[in-house]
Amino acid sequence: MSQWLTIVIIGLLTFGIRYSFIALFGNANVPEIIKRGLRFVPAAVLAAIIASDLAISNQQIDLINPKMAAGAIAIIVAWYTRQVIPTLVAGFIVFLLLN
């Protein structure tokens, strides 16, 4: 029973922390320059997560690994095609061939 209690408490704490920002700053006027800058936050966070996953192998930074090669090919395909499906397929194929 203590596991369920822990899960419920953590859930309530998480909700409380997130809701506090909405309750306190929900009606605040944000300057336009801040809004324009915040548009790039999701892409930057996603890029940081992907880059760290590509570069770290066996808990060490390894710039020569199958994930890095697949990522490089995926970047090239994305640059030329500007489409998601060919990018994913190219990255998967390179990763499977090198792995």
Domain range annotation of the chain: 2-98
Q: How do residues 77-87 score in pLDDT, each as one tens digit? A: 999 999 999 99
Q: Looking at residue 96, what is its pLDDT? A: 95
Q: What distance in Å separates the CA atoms of residue 23 and residue 27, rounded to the nearest whole number?
A: 8
Enter the pTM of the model: 0.61
Between 8 and 65, the higher pLDDT residue: 8
- Count CB neighbours of 67 within 10 A: 19
pLDDT > 70 in the chain, percent: 99
Q: Looking at residue 84, what is its pLDDT? A: 95
